[in-house]
Structure 1
Amino acid sequence: MTQHDADAFEAVPRPVVSRANVYPASFELATHRHRRGQLLYASRGTVAVTTPFGAWIAPPERAVWIPGGTPHSVRMIGAVNTNSVYLETMVIGTLGEACRVLSVSPLLRALLVEAAAVPREYDPAGRDGLLMSLVVAEIARAPTVPLALPLPTHATLSARCARFFERPTVTEAIDGWAEDLSMHRRSFTRLFRRETGMSFAQWRQQACLLSALPRLAAGESVTAIALDLGYESATSFSTMFRRALGVPPSMHRSPYPSASP
């Protein structure tokens, strides 16, 4: 299927349903929600999911878990092919009630691609039913990776964070933000941590990291990205990247990084 409206899947009498979509570069899905929980996986391209609570970016070896009922918008970075599965509450298990990014193993990737070809009302006792059960089992064991950016609910601070995420730089200082919000530095730091659960420096670094991922996936050079984000050199950027994700940025320029850093 190529229609982005998933409402037709809500009434299918199966605990797990799947579908594939193809989107052009820079396509955006307006804010919407599904009754079922959704695992959104892009086998090609990168997806950026935004909710009232934060932003999550998933390159091809990652997927975003979106709990049922969560309002979310999706922005495509590059041309995107998605393979989504929608899960009823009875099979969600430990996936939880908060969005998160999951690592997609080669096995889970193959299962998600295969599941998209399964008929809506498949035989639960047949091969298709076994396939869907295995999809759920592999999703349940997929590890979470730190690719989230919490967004504040405080209106003025939220707007300031959104502007920063459009063009993040590691050189922006906390004093400038406090001045923008007409706050003393100490009051600003307390507000920022209360609203995001992170220090300003941690949040700024995470914003730069998430901004870099789709650019790496698009083939941009590490040096160009590092300098654009305000790092003094590609080495300093790579050190931050490896510390945060356990691998150098060059590993995110191909769909399947090798196991060793």
Structure 2
Amino acid sequence: MRNVPLARVDHLPAEVLPIATDYPPDTLLAWHEHRRAQFLYAATGTMLVETDDGAWTVPGERAVLIPPRTRHRVRMLDTQTSSLYVEPSAVPWWPTACRVVEVPPLLRELLLAAADLDADYAADRRGSAVIALILLETAALSEVPLHVPLPHDQPFSRLCRDYLAHPDVAVTNTDWARTAAMSERVFTRRFRHLTGTSPAAWRSRARLLASIPLLRHRTVTEVATLLGYASPAALSYAFARAFGVPPSSMRHH
């Protein structure tokens, strides 16, 4: 199914509903949730996924697993997606928080094939086999830790979400503490309690996530300059240390 609203087919008995969607550039899907678990694959572009608890950056040819009944919003940057909406009972192993995963070539081809299936594929042996194999493959994917935690409490939540939208290397703990009307020491202690990390480390990781959509169209040198890194090597080192892969891996395979 292509460009079909989930609401039109959600009631069907199929355990898995495959839907591919083409989004206009920079589309924001406002806060919503699904009854089913969602496997959201970016065939092209980059997706920025937010929940109440965190923010995930999903580069092209990766996917994010979204748990059922999880409130989320998604910004689609030049994105074509292939989604699977799955009855929770069919995937008891599904994570309880969002997770970005690598999508190997076999699964990529299966997702493309699934997008051409009709809603009543269950009557078709090949269609059923494609979906059965997809479910087997999705259970064994490796995670890419492309996320930052988001605190629930204000003003921490607002500061973090604003920073994700406009990462600025010049922002300091002093700036954040002043905005929050707290001493720097109290602010830092509460921030660490809420997120498990220091404000400076959090901002550093948020900047690295912001580099991912930029790396699709720009060189490491250009992105390093834009985000205030001392050199391309400094960006590459920080990126590999945070995410376990080099920045060059964020381009399409």
Normalised to the residue count of structure 1, the TM-score between the two structures is 0.91
2:101 and 2:143 in contact (8 A); partners too: yes
**Native 8 Å contact 2:42 2:82 kept in 1:** yes
**Other-structure match for 1:259:** none
Query: CA RMSD of the aligned region, Å?
Result: 1.6
| Amino acid paired to 2:44 | R
Which amino acid counterpart does residue 225 of structure 2 have in structure 1? L
Residues 43-75 of structure 1 deviation map (CA, whole Å, 9 limit, x = unaligned): 011111111111111111311111111111111
Cα offset, 1:25, TM superposition: 0.6
Aligned twin of 2:219: 221
Mark the CA change 1:147 to 1:124 in structure 2 (over 3 Å): closer, same or farther: farther
Give the distance between the partners of 1:68 and 1:9, measured in 2 at CA.
16
Q: What CA deviation, in whole Å up to 9, does each residue of 1:100-121 have, x standing for no partner?
A: 1111111111111111111112
Native 8 Å contact 1:17 1:85 kept in 2? yes
Equivalent-residue separation in structure 1 for 2:192 and 2:128 (angstroms): 45
Question: What's the counterpart of residue 15 of structure 1?
Answer: 15
TM-score (norm 2): 0.94
- Residue pair 2:15, 2:87 contacting (<8 A) in 1 also: yes
1:113-169 CA distance string (max 9 Å, x none)? 111111112126722111111111111101111111211111211111122112213
Is the CA contact 2:44–2:61 (under 8 Å) kept in the aligned structure 1?
no
Counterpart of 2:230 in structure 1 is 232
Structure 1 position 179 matched with structure 2 position 193: no
1:33 is aligned to 33
Change (3 A) 1:241 1:124: farther
- Aligned residue for 2:17, secondary structure, equals strand
Matched, 1:245 2:240: no
* AA aligned opposite 1:22: D
Q: List alignment gaps of at least 5 residues for structure 2.
A: none
Counterpart for residue 3 of structure 2: 2
Q: Do 2:46 and 2:76's aligned partners in 1 also have CA atoms closer than 8 Å?
A: yes
Question: Mapping of 1:96-175 within 5 angstroms?
Answer: 96-123=95-122, 126-175=125-174
Instruction: Indicate whether 1:189 and 2:188 are aligned.
Output: yes
Deviations 1:25-52 (A, max 9, x none): 1111111111000011110111111111
How far did 1:11 drift?
A: 1.0
Cα displacement string for residues 181-234 of structure 1 (whole angstroms, at most 9, x for unaligned residues): 1212222122112222322233112201110001112x1121121122121111
- SS of the aligned residue for 1:73 comes to strand
Cα 1:16/1:250, change in 2 over 3 Å: same
Query: Which whole-Å CA distance do the structure 1 matches of 2:196 and 2:180 have between them?
Result: 19
Unaligned runs of 5+ in 1: 257-261
8 Å contact from structure 2 (residues 46, 57) kept in 1: yes
Distance, in Å, in 1 between the alignment partners of 2:95 and 2:248 is 32
Partner of 1:210: 209
Q: Contact 1:32–1:71 at 8 Å: present in 2 too? A: yes
Partner of 1:60: 60
Runs of 4+ in 1 over 3 A off after TM superposition: none
1:95 counterpart SS class: coil
Residue 79 of structure 2: aligned partner:
80
- The number of residues matched between the two structures is 252
